[in-house]
Amino acid sequence: MKKILVTGGAGYIGSHTCIELLASGYEVVIVDDFTNSVAEPLQRLQKLAGKSVSFHEVNLLDEAALDAVFVKEGQIDAVIHFAALKAVGESVEKPLMYYKNNISGSLTLFDVMQKHGVKNLVFSSSATVYGDPEETPIKEDAAVHATNPYGHTKAMMEQILMDTSHAFDWGVVLLRYFNPVGAHESGEIGEDPEYPNNLLPFVSQVAAGIREHVTIFGDDYDTVDGTGVRDYIHVVDLARAHVKSIEKLAKHDKGTLIYNIGTGTGYSVQQMVETFRQVSGKEIKTVVGPRRPGDIAECTADATLANNELGWSASYGLQEMIESAWKWQSQNPNGYRDAK
């Protein structure tokens, strides 16, 4: 494995993964169309890694343009496929847009990979495929029943890839991410949502004075303090899980491997806000609101399989996750929008 093509490499998880790939000695080819990202992280990640990437601005639905990338780049050893839409609420309102982007775009990519004999792929799946799990921590063999169009696209993609790896002898790793948070230690690369849907970017913006308060979506769950519990994972640890997956594919011939990527430890909304207060020294106002439709009480990973088979485990704890998120937020109050 030498040359890795990364779709969505300008995005939050993609950009962190490209840095880790470069640090591990891989050549990186990025395909991104800036649907939900900007070019700035590409400059920054190359500077941080001290190495350059090859970049192509291409939408995955554009088969001819994608084909031209594979022709131009020559031998690609594996693909890491991040590019997708990811807002749950939006997916409920615009299901066709989600199916078209996340499914049709991926199918086009897989067709082009098959044509060029590229048979290794790491796919960004999500703990969202488990829906409301019967028990936590969740193991990979728990039932898959996603509850919204975004989650359905992830579950469908998993099925498509299992069938594809079986038919064409591909090697596939499906990584089911729990809740990615935090930023690169430099504070130069991070999550850049204009309007955050997820908890931690929202808390960051309240701490920074951009928003007035955090609404806690329900405090009557059957959890440690009544607020929702999640398994937050440092984005750099998550990025490293992709490098481990590429190493695994280099040794493993074919078939689909599925791994949960989380720390195994859950924190409540209240615990997250309190830790953020301590780290930032800022007041963070909270208001308890109703439950968000579709939310579950608790979701944590059993990541034993990734520990044993990928040789991966999380190295950062909550403190480091929040310190890095706050460093990124403080250094880039408007995300990448202020970048020259």
Among 84, 144, 269, 303, binds ligand UD1 (CB under 6 A): 269
* Whether the Cβ atoms of residue 296 and residue 132 lie closer than 8 Å to each other: yes
β 229-230/267-268 pair status: antiparallel
Among 295, 307, 313, 330, binds ligand UD1 (CB under 6 A): 295
Q: How far apart are alpha carbons 101 and 176 in whole angstroms?
A: 19
Give, as ranges, the residues between 21 and 50 that touch ligand UD1 (CB under 6 A): none
Task: Tell how far CA 215 is from the center of its chain.
Answer: 24
Among 124, 128, 164, 332, binds ligand UD1 (CB under 6 A): 128
Q: Which residues pair with 229 in a beta bridge?
A: 268, 298
Q: How far apart are alpha carbons 107 and 115 in whole angstroms?
A: 12
Closer CB to ligand UD1, residue 151 or residue 264? Answer: 151
Active-site residue identified among 150, 177, 232, 267: 150
As a whole number of Å, the end-to-end CA separation of the chain is 35
Minimum distance of ligand UD1 from residue 150's CB (angstroms): 6
Q: How far apart are alpha carbons 199 and 272 in whole angstroms?
A: 9
Q: Is 183 left (phi over 0), alpha (psi -120 to 50) or beta?
A: beta
Q: With binding defined as CB under 6 A, does residue 226 bind ligand UD1?
A: no
Site string for ligand UD1, 179-218 (x = CB under 6 A): x-----------------xxx--x-----------xxxx-
Closer CB to ligand UD1, residue 4 or residue 174? Answer: 174
Residue nearest to ligand UD1 (CB): 228
Site string for ligand UD1, 80-99 (x = CB under 6 A): --------x-----------
Q: How far apart are alpha carbons 309 and 72 in whole angstroms?
A: 34
Write phi, then psi, for 27 (nearest 5 degrees).
-85, 140
Q: How far apart are alpha carbons 39 and 161 in whole angstroms?
A: 29
Among 44, 119, 184, 230, binds ligand UD1 (CB under 6 A): 230
Residue whose pair of structure tokens reads 């190359």 in the numeric block? 46
* Whether the Cβ atoms of residue 204 and residue 153 lie closer than 8 Å to each other: no
Minimum distance of ligand UD1 from residue 166's CB (angstroms): 26
Q: With binding defined as CB under 6 A, does residue 122 bind ligand UD1?
A: no
Q: Is residue 150 flagged as an active site residue?
A: yes
Minimum distance of ligand UD1 from residue 271's CB (angstroms): 11
Site string for ligand UD1, 131-160 (x = CB under 6 A): -------------------xx---------
Residue type, 211: R
Minimum distance of ligand UD1 from residue 86's CB (angstroms): 6
Q: How far apart are alpha carbons 67 and 63 in whole angstroms?
A: 6
* Whether the Cβ atoms of residue 4 and residue 27 lie closer than 8 Å to each other: yes
β 27-32/298-299 pair status: unpaired
Minimum distance of ligand UD1 from residue 199's CB (angstroms): 4
Helix (H) or strand (E) holding 238: helix 235-251
Which residues sit at the interface with ligand UD1, rule CB under 6 A?
88, 126, 128, 150-151, 179, 197-199, 202, 214-217, 228, 230, 269, 292, 294-295
Active-site positions read 150
